[in-house]
Amino acid sequence: MVGLIKKHKLIAIVLLAGFAATISYAFYFQVKLAVDSRAYDSIAWSLVQGTGYTETTSPIPDSAIGRLGPGYEFFLAGIYWIFGHHIWIVWIIQSFLHTASAFLVYRLIKRFYTDWNAEKFAALGAGLYIFSIDLLEFPAMLLTETLYLFLVLLGLNFAFAMWQGPTRQNVLAASIVFTLAILVRPPVTVLMLVSLGLLVYKRLWRQAAIFIVTAVIILTPWTVRNYLKYHLFIPTTYIIGYDLWVGNSPGSRYIGELTATDEINQYSSEKGVFAANERGKREFLSLIINQPWEFIKLQLTKTSIYFSAARPAAFWFHLSGISQLLTIILSSSFAFIVFVFGLSGLWLYLKKRDLISRMMVLSTLAAPAGIIWIVAETRYRYQIYPMMIILGVIFLARLLKSPKVYARVLSVFAFIIASNTVFDAVRNIPRLMERLQRLF
């Protein structure tokens, strides 16, 4: 072990420093439970106490099935069952997961960039991931992102191994991990379909069958439980209709954000989870059929929001004053840099014609494809950040080797992201001013 650390000293330092920074953030701010985190905690503790999958802090019947899950709630329940109902234990475990995710980014970069200086660039990628303020915040909160990104990155490591040489073991591992990720957050379904699509494309029918059957086996117990309880087919959670309604309301003051209008809030409170979900599906279909141009404009607007650096992860309730100002600066700077370099790296892989490069492109595009049609709020774009970091670091390596060849590409994407960011900021000046007032 000591020899291994000496051989990989740089990444060891990055991971140790990153873990220290992550856990220090959590214990410094000691973020209180609120909204989603309170709900997840409530459901998890209810599971441990034997009262079922129930959100005991909500007056709305069956509200638990309207939360993202059940993967994260069972993850928390497992921690509480072993260690007791202590939030600080969750902070420590999630800090380890965040550090492990950075290591997986390091592994993926080394898989695709194999030059003599690969160790340095892979460690740089891990550092960008672990010290990104957007991602470093989440281990301090009881929210799904830290576990979700860990599972996505672990699944990608198995998936790329599967695409390069599909064995029964890596097909099974990729399916298991991606399916567990679906139980935490459903948007990874697109990435899972990309993985399955390659097996079908290469006519690897046995491996494709293993992939599908494994996923079905994992999802079946929860699906059966929900059918017996609600008489509905619910493989994960019953929230998609509600989210579609919130994220595709043309009259909303908060286009792109998962902030419900007064009408939606009132309807949900009065009618409950199931009625709101069904109404949401009808409203979404009505928008597509009756106002197709309005629907298209909404998706273009959300795409602009998704790739805007004017959407910092700085408006959590535990931040104020200097800490919030620093988070605005760091978060916006990170988003700008990672999108400029990441999209430049994506351009490199778009030019390639080999199968693995195409899978790299599809794996990247799976992130926005899985969420923009629903919502484009800052925290829901985090799935693309690891891929942007990986692609960006690979592009940086090329840029340093041949600056004259690649500087123009970087300039083009810098102009695109900067222009889009200015457009998004100007178009949303009232919302921007509303949020900036929290600094004073």
Give tens-digit pLDDT for 81-97.
Answer: 999 999 999 999 999 99
If one compares 262 and 37, the residue with the highest pLDDT of the two is 37
pTM: 0.94
Q: What average pLDDT does range 109-114 have in this prediction?
A: 91
Q: What average pLDDT does range 356-384 have in this prediction?
A: 91
Looking at residue 417, what is its pLDDT?
Answer: 96
Determine contact, residues 97/150, Cβ cutoff 8 Å. Answer: yes
What's the pLDDT tens digit per position in 44-59? 999 999 999 998 887 7
Q: What average pLDDT does range 214-233 have in this prediction?
A: 95
- Listed in sequence order, the residues at least 6 apart from 260 whose beta carbon sits closer than 8 Å to its beta carbon are 246, 268
Q: For residues 245 and 431, what is the distance between their CA atoms, to the nearest angstrom?
A: 20
Looking at residue 324, what is its pLDDT?
Answer: 87
Q: How many CB atoms sit inside 10 A of residue 78's CB?
A: 14
Rg (CA), the chain: 22
Looking at residue 429, what is its pLDDT?
Answer: 77
Tokens 């605005």, located at residue: 328
- Would the pLDDT of 410 be above 80? yes
Looking at residue 260, what is its pLDDT?
Answer: 81
pLDDT category of residue 7 using cuts at 50, 70 and 90: low
Looking at residue 257, what is its pLDDT?
Answer: 81
Looking at residue 5, what is its pLDDT?
Answer: 60
Average pLDDT, the chain: 91
pLDDT category of residue 258 using cuts at 50, 70 and 90: confident
The one-letter amino acid code at 237 reads: T
Q: What average pLDDT does range 156-169 have in this prediction?
A: 89
What's the pLDDT tens digit per position in 263-322? 888 888 888 888 889 999 999 999 999 999 999 999 999 999 999 999 888 888 888 888
Looking at residue 439, what is its pLDDT?
Answer: 63
- Would the pLDDT of 3 be above 60? no
Q: For residues 279 and 271, what is the distance between their CA atoms, to the nearest angstrom?
A: 10
